[in-house]
Structure 1
Amino acid sequence: MSSHPWGLNWRIFFPKSIALLAVVLLQPIALTGCFSPEEIKHPEIQTEFAPGWNNVAVGGGGYVTGIYLHPQVPNLAYIRTDMGGFYRWDSTATRWIPLSDRFTRSESGYYGGEALALDPNNPDRVYIAAGKYLWAEPGTIFKSSDRGQTWVQSDLRLPMGGNEELRGAGNRLVVSPHDSNLLLFGSRQNGLWRSIDAGMTWNLVPGFPTPSDSKIGILAIAFDPNQPSQIYASVYGDRLYQSTDGGTTWNPLPNSPSHAFKLAVASDSTLYVTHAQGVSKYLQENWHNITPPNTSFRRLIRRETPAFNGLSIHPQNPQELIVSHGQTTRTQLYHSQDGGMTWTEKKSQINNTVPWWPDDYFSNHLSALEFDPTIPGRVWLSDWYGVWQTDNFNKNLPVWTNYSQGHEQVVTFDLVSPPTGALLLSAVADVEGFYHSHLEQIPPHRFGSDRGSFQETYSLDYAAQSPQHLVRVGGDRWNSRYGGATSADGGLTWQRFSQFPEQMMPMRVAVSATNPQQFVVTLSDSQGIRTQDNGQSWQPIQGLPDSIEGPWEWSQPLGADAVNGNRFYYYHEGTVYHSQDGGLSFAPIYQSLPHSDWHFLKTMPGAEGEVWVSLDQEGLYRSPDGGQSFSKVAGVEQAYLFAFGKAAPGQEIPALYLYGKVVNKPESIFWSPDLGKTWIDIGDREIPIGNQPNVMEASKQQFGLVFIGTNGRGIYYRAIGAP
């Protein structure tokens, strides 16, 4: 890919507007086979919701890779995340305001936070470098003149990696404190770029060295606050470079660290550096090792494990600084008030406001430490799960409080909304999953217990005619330990399977409609298995192809019939398989569907033999006879996701929801009251839910309540209300 920009392409995003939703219902169509599930006791369920699309409250759960404080305006703070976009702090409401939600699904890469920069002289101006993966569509730089409410896209197009290696280190994008029109951006693979028109056009700085094989590249840049023409930059794996002419030419800095993570220049022009070997400062053309003594860091140069990362210099005192370890599960913080000659290790007290966070989440894989420039004693900290703040850092035991409201970043694998019990149950990466009885309140705990917990949950299902019985499968990806758990109380408590094949990753689960102890599990890149005794013993499935390889796949090819407890269905490369013996054996029943790698097979609630398959660009297909025949739903040009929900008042037919395209309409989110004959747009162009949506579900308890899970922006919901 060329390292030069591709020409000007101006794009402006405008604030959210309010739209009216017109709803027209057709005559109801009766279905047979409905049932009345047994009621059980559950926590009080929320029944009123905010209008429009909102996040289900989970509470952080994703990597905040940087925090940025404006030097002039109190409480003007921003964060970037690895794959959940960018946010601004609302100190009045004590919550984070998402700034990336206008990006569409085709722009999902822009939810990757490669860098962020503030204009020190203009508090309304902020820049973001947005791009999630080096191998994906090129990233770009956006500029906002209203604190992130609207964005204008620059002409820069480069591979960026907000979710790549060392995403929690460095600072690639900077604005000169002496000239608001001068910006520098250090790319991972395509050199150093310079803008002299406040970030709208960019030019490659000729001659700046970048290792051709590096996935890190230019990791950090820092301006000298006293000398307008002096700038420092680090090339990871090489050394630091210095410019004395405003970034036009550069020279290597002798004896500089080869694996530097963060740079900061104090108000007395001293350069401080955290790096793989420790902490150093550069003063009067000499390097000084100021690494805190008696620390547990190792001399590592591996990209993924920096020894020291966090670094901040007090804005009013050039001799006061704080540093921290980097990508470790328990970071140590060190404070110096004499330029690093002596250090105090700062112990901490935890004021945890997220009930399901264990205290050891604090400073886990710490990415940034920042002195607050306007509020004495305040320090901010960002890490693997969220943002922390203390107002008494100078005390012996500062108290750190986490602030997660509005920052919703979990990656979803699956969602279910049973007809009784929880409004929603979520299966997510890294933090397992949740029972949601209130969509606007953070759940009190994660799934499981010592007997039923995992790192993450890959799939959930319930017995259609006994919905208090659920099964989930997942495991601990870091140590290849997998399995599953069952619940007999709607997901409030879980009991782990007593047996499961060793080191086999489960992908999807489907539970018999009538026998909760009987369910089918597909395995990553392997044959599936079946149990009839709640996971105490397993039998290999016959007749199915090997499953997709996990865990980062979201298609759902497996489903259980909603009425007949012996019937299961499976989609693979255009063929639908069915089982009539409780999932023990499968055979092809229909072999003429289109082939789509992105696919979802679901059965309609309350109706025997109703099998639906969405095939992305190939559309949506329906079988009323257990898979013996399929017909394409007319007018659906793209079926990216779909779901069934509770019927509208006065009707019996389930509501049908679609994320995709219907004839004469752009991609959006739709509701159909008549199984796809007519469609009502319930989407929002200002919140298109564009960060790789990967699962859709609808409430079986409340008409019009729809859920969409994403790959890094948590779970969205909307309640469209009664027609």
Structure 2
Amino acid sequence: MKWGGGGYVTGLIYHPTSYNVMYARTDVGGVYRWDGGGSWTPITDGIGFGPGEGTYHGVESLALDPTNDNKVYMVSGLTTHNWDGSALINGRIYVSQDRGASWTHYDLPFPVGGNESGRAVGERLKLDPTNPSTMFYASRTAGLWKSTNSGQTWTQTSLASKVLTGSEIMGLGTAPIGVEQIVLDNSGSGGGATTWNMYAFIAPEYVQKAGLTSTMYKSQNGGATWTPVTVPSSVSGYYVPHVVRASDGYYYVVFNKNTGEGAGGPGYLYKFGGINFGESWTQLSTTTQGGYSGVSVYGSGATARVALTVTTWNAGQPVVQLSDSAGAPGTWREIADGMTHWGSSGYRGWVDDVEIDPTNKDHILHVHGGGVWETWNASAAAPSWDEPVNNLEETATLAIVTPPAGASYKLVNSAGDIGNWVQTDLAAKPTRSPNSAWGNGDAADVLWSDPTYIVAVGITSNAPVTAYGSWSGNSGATWSNFASLPAGASTNFNDSVSIVTTSRNNIVWAPANSIPSYTTNNGASWTQVSGLPTPNGGLPNAYRLVVDRQSPNKVYAFDGGGAWWNNTTGKVYLSTDSGHSFTLVQGSVAANFAKNEFGLTTMVGNPNASGDLWVADGNTVYHSTNGGANWTNLSGFATVAANGSTGALQGATRIALGKAATGSSYSAAVYVVGTRSGVWGVWRSDDGGATWSRFNDDAHQYGGIGVIAGDWSTYGRIYFSGAGRGIIYTN
């Protein structure tokens, strides 16, 4: 489904000899291969990226074999440690021999933080250009590592033996940056010889922890031993987000006072002579208007073109600086700020990598927090820019709701960072939103008897964080904010949220970790419902609310238990007065639902039959046809142990209903995300759960599926979210 970008592209990398081959890495959405013409192909949706492996869609570094343009390496893992630092989380290296069509992986002996601060640092994984089976990895927590067998096994180099503990990482107050990158002093390709000379750049906090004496070291024996290199005093203790070695052997080194995406300055750009040029330093540029981050070089010598990015949010300040005189002071000009940008107005912030096309110096691309921008006329006095993000979909959807057949729109998408959007055309970016400010869309609902009425809730992330709720009476063309918020909404900002509407003006909202509230006047005032206890804790939790579409005065509330370690099983409550008061449905107690967190449980209702409910409790599927008084546990779904570090293949986490097949015995098609006979996937039943068939295959797993909804106009169409992959749909 069309959005276009939407997430943080943390790096672009051209193949060093086959310049038509380029990849983009992202912080939560995997890797994309460039197809040209502004279009991309996602290459981490299939084999090797199954359920529970969305963590490996957080990509920290890429490397391309200079002797084989089909071979690509990817190092991934979202975070270096768990929430309290009590355990470190090692990453993986993936290898593809066919440009990402298939993958194998090896476990790494060190943590990886593809979604942590500083994730746009220049490539940490570096292959020896003349002997690419030898590679180095600049790790965040454990120094510099070396592999001589294409990443299968690794040993720590002598640069530093310090391995940060979980408590040391937590004590930093931010993500560890560690060894930032390594640059090998060789522009050759192939031949099998070892590259002996190289430089390593180290973050100042790891310098201190490891007892090093400089933020820069060199080795002249292939990484066996290291000696410090003195950096200019003006950048002593600075971070080095990017380094580029030009073909003439000179290095362009970016220094910045602070680290992280969009980090502030001061920033400096220096030209470094390297081993062959006396290791001299020449200052080329400095800024206090934001920080420096990305750098790219085209050509060599005195006429080299240098592009330099400035990570600032402020209008009227530099974004991309360009010099055609090897970066000499006084030769820089701005080529992005104030220029024509076709498409989205956002191009500032997190501009942390830039690449000049090796075949065309007028074609320049830069990343940002919402994708990629490019210009094809960088030499013009006023270059124009567009967004080459076709098929690059990196948004994180939190909820999907589809309207009844005949509605003028396809669905409402509630997504992290980008908010709530009404999608009218699957091939076009949506334009209807209650709040286009940066922030999360948490949940939405549509009125079944009149789908022009929509309600949506979320938060805006610009400080201070605030919750909002909105309603539209014209299919999302215009919106009005609720005049007030219910209890809990203004203080509990977690994305575990549910909201439903029973009729115009009448809404029930269940904020995170809170008792729901209802309004009869479109949010002018709210009253807490009666009969519901605070939802079980342990993890962020909320009641899942479901309206009986045949009898909208009936509203069901489901608490899945909150966490697997809680002593209370999942329960269903029923309201017969439009969600004002609830009573426990005793049949749900007898059903003995499993205890699971909000993200592993679902309850939905069949809009074609009153009292027809479905529950996925994380382990299996239950069906009731009498409002929850009795439940049938459907056989075949079961949680099983998974291979590797994925933990478990959950038996059933998501249920969606959609238009029934012609002539089917049940009034809706049923789709379940879960595991049958040890096989995880999306399973479909056309006969009310009597028989099932797998709906996806191993090439379409998306790192697991988060949320799912069925279409009520087209049989067989479902909408679902992959791991940081926006909304995907299939017929």
- Short-chain TM bin: 0.7 to 0.9
CA positional deviation for 1:96 = 0.4
Kindly indicate whether residue 449 of structure 2 is the aligned counterpart of residue 447 of structure 1.
no
Among candidates 83, 88, 99, match of residue 43 of structure 2: 99
Q: 1:262, 1:135 → 2: CA distance?
A: 25
The one-letter code of the counterpart of 2:690 is: K
Q: Structure 1 residues 316 and 291, CA, compared in 2 at 3 Å: closer, same or farther? A: closer
Q: 1:270 to 1:548 in 2, by over 3 A?
A: farther
Structure 1, residues 465-501: CA drift from partner, whole Å, max 9, x if none? 2222211111203322212111222333322212225
Does the residue aligned with 2:52 lie in a helix, a strand or coil?
helix
What is the deviation of 1:715?
Answer: 1.1
> Which stretch of structure 1 is more off in the superposition, 645-654 or 532-541?
645-654
Secondary structure class of the residue paired with 2:56: helix
Partner residue in 1 for 2:20:
75
Q: Deviations over 1:281-320 (max 9, x none)?
A: 3333344433335x423xxxxxxxxx21111122444754
Look up the match of 2:601. 599
Matching residue's letter, 1:593:
F
Aligned to 2:272: 282
1:539 and 1:155 map into 2 onto residues whose CA distance is: 52
1:231 equivalent to 2:198? Answer yes
1:291 maps onto 2:285 in alignment: yes
When the two chains are superposed, the root-mean-square deviation of aligned CA atoms in Å is 2.6
Amino acid at match of 2:576: Q
Among 657, 660, 673, the alignment partner of 1:659 is 673
- 1:114-133 counterparts in 2 under 5 A? 114-133=60-79
Question: How do 1:304-319 and structure 2 match up within 5 A?
Answer: 307-317=291-301, 319=304
Name the residue aligned to 1:429: 416
Provide the rounded CA distance (Å) in 2 between the counterparts of 1:670 and 1:134: 34
- Alpha-carbon shift at residue 712 of structure 1 (Å): 0.6
User: What pairs up with 1:279-678 in 2 under 5 angstroms?
Assistant: 279=268, 280-283=270-273, 284-292=278-286, 295-297=288-290, 307-317=291-301, 319-326=304-311, 328=313, 332-336=319-323, 337-348=325-336, 352=341, 354=343, 357=344, 359=345, 361-419=346-404, 420-439=407-426, 441-448=427-434, 455-478=439-462, 479-501=464-486, 503-505=490-492, 507-513=496-502, 515-547=503-535, 557-572=544-559, 573=561, 574-590=570-586, 591=589, 592-597=592-597, 598-617=600-619, 619-637=620-638, 638-651=651-664, 653-662=667-676, 664=677, 666-678=679-691
Per-residue CA distance 1:153-195 (angstroms, 9 max, x = gap):
2353432111111112232011122322221111111221112
Task: Decide whether aligned partners of structure 1 residues 263 and 338 sit closer, same or farther in structure 2, where only a CA change above 3 A counts.
Answer: closer
The DSSP-based 3-state class of the residue aligned with 2:285 is: coil
Change (3 A) 1:135 1:211: closer
What is aligned with 1:113?
59
1-side partners of 2:543 and 2:616: how far apart?
10
**Shift, 1:210, TM fit:** 4.8
Equivalent position of 1:53 in the other structure: none
Other structure's SS at 1:61 match = coil
Name the residue aligned to 1:35.
Answer: none
Cα distance change on mapping 1:433 and 1:320 into 2, 3 Å: same
Distance 2:69 2:492 in 1: 49
Q: Is the 8 A contact 1:290 1:341 kept in 2?
A: yes
Q: CA deviation at 1:327?
A: 6.3
Higher relative contact order (CA 8 A, sep 6+): 1
Is 1:185 paired with 2:137?
Answer: yes
Map of 1:698 onto structure 2:
710
Deviation at 1:460, TM superposition (A): 0.9
Query: d(CA) in 1 for partners of 2:465 and 2:535?
Result: 18
8 Å contact kept, 1:508–1:558: no
- Cα distance in 1 for partners of 2:458, 2:612 equals 28
Shift of 1:610: 1.9
The secondary structure found in structure 1 opposite 2:108 is coil
Deviation for aligned residue 1:606: 2.1
Once residues 561 and 105 of structure 1 are traced to their aligned partners in structure 2, the CA distance between those partners, rounded to angstroms, is: 31
How far apart in 2 are the matches of 1:267 and 1:689?
A: 39
TM-score normalised to structure 2 length: 0.82
* Residue type at the aligned position of 1:99: I
Assess if the C-alpha contact under 8 Å between 1:522 and 1:547 holds in 2: no
Q: Secondary structure of the residue that 2:23 maps to in structure 1? A: strand
Write out the 4+ residue segments of structure 1 that deviate beyond 6 Å after TM superposition: 552-556
> How do 1:107-186 residues align onto structure 2 when only pairs under 5 Å count?
107-135=53-81, 138-154=90-106, 156-186=108-138
Instruction: Say if 1:711 and 1:148 are closer, same or farther in 2 by CA, change over 3 A.
Output: closer
1:332-385, CA deviations, whole angstroms, 9 ceiling, x for partnerless residues?
Answer: 22223244433423133656554xx2x1x2143112111211223221211111
Is the contact between residue 603 and residue 655 of structure 2 (CA under 8 Å) also seen in structure 1? Answer: no
1:654 Cα deviation from its structure 2 partner? 0.8
Q: Distance in 1 between matches of 2:299 and 2:101?
A: 28
The answer to whether the 8 A contact 1:523-1:547 is kept is no
Cα shift at 1:531: 0.3
With over 3 angstroms needed to count, the CA separation of the structure-2 counterparts of 1:138 and 1:462, relative to structure 1, is same
Deviation, 1:524, is 2.4
Equivalent residue runs for 1:196-235 within 5 Å: 196-208=148-160, 210=162, 212=164, 213-214=168-169, 215-225=176-186, 228-235=195-202
Per-residue deviation at 1:321?
1.9
Secondary structure, aligned partner of 2:116: coil
Residue aligning to 1:300: none
Q: Give the alignment partner of residue 245 of structure 2, picking from 242, 252, 265.
A: 265
Secondary structure of 2:611's match?
coil
For each residue in 1:648-678, what CA deviation from the matched residue of structure 2 results, as whole angstroms up to 9, or x when unmatched?
113461111111122x351111110111110
Letter paired with 2:585: I
Q: Residue 201 of structure 1: CA displacement?
A: 3.1
The answer to which of 223-232 and 58-67 deviates more is 223-232
| Distance in 2 between residues matched to 1:179 and 1:112, nearest whole Å | 28
**Paired position in structure 2 for 1:12:** none
* Rounded Cα–Cα distance in structure 1 between residues aligned with 2:143 and 2:247: 28
How far apart in 2 are the matches of 1:345 and 1:519? 54
TM-score (norm 1): 0.83
1:16 corresponding residue in structure 2: none
Shift of the 311–426 alpha-carbon distance from structure 1 to 2, 3 Å rule, reads same
Q: Secondary structure at the match of 1:109?
A: helix
1:711–1:154 Cα change, 3 Å:
closer
Q: CA–CA distance in 2 between the matches of 1:639 and 1:329? A: 47
Distance 1:147 1:366, change over 3 A: same
Stretches of structure 2 that go unaligned for 5 or more consecutive residues are 83-88, 170-175, 189-194, 208-214, 258-266, 562-569, 639-650
Q: Deviations over 1:4-52 (max 9, x none)?
A: xxxxxxxxxxxxxxxxxxxxxxxxxxxxxxxxxxxxxxxxxxxxxxxxx
| Counterpart Cα distance in 1 of 2:308 and 2:375 | 16
Give the superposition deviation at 1:458: 0.4
2:335/2:378 contact within 8 Å kept: no
- How far, CA to CA, are the matches of 1:672 and 1:437 in structure 2? 28
Which amino acid is the alignment partner of residue 595 of structure 2?
H
Opposite residue 496 of structure 1, the aligned amino acid is: N
- Post-superposition shift, 1:262? 1.4
Name the aligned partner's letter for residue 192 of structure 1.
L
**Maintained 8 Å contact 1:154/1:199:** yes
Counterpart AA for 2:547: A
CA distance in 2, matches of 1:326, 1:547: 42
Higher mean displacement: 402-411 or 642-651:
642-651
CA distance in 2, matches of 1:145, 1:342: 45
Q: Bigger CA drift: 95-104 or 138-147?
A: 138-147
Structure 1: distance between partners of 2:71 and 2:616: 43
Structure 1 counterpart of 2:646: none
SS at structure 1 position matched to 2:55: helix
Structure 1's 703 and 555: CA in aligned 2 closer, same or farther, altered over 3 A? farther
Given that 2:702 and 2:723 are in contact with CA atoms closer than 8 Å, whether structure 1 keeps it comes out as no
Matched positions, count: 641
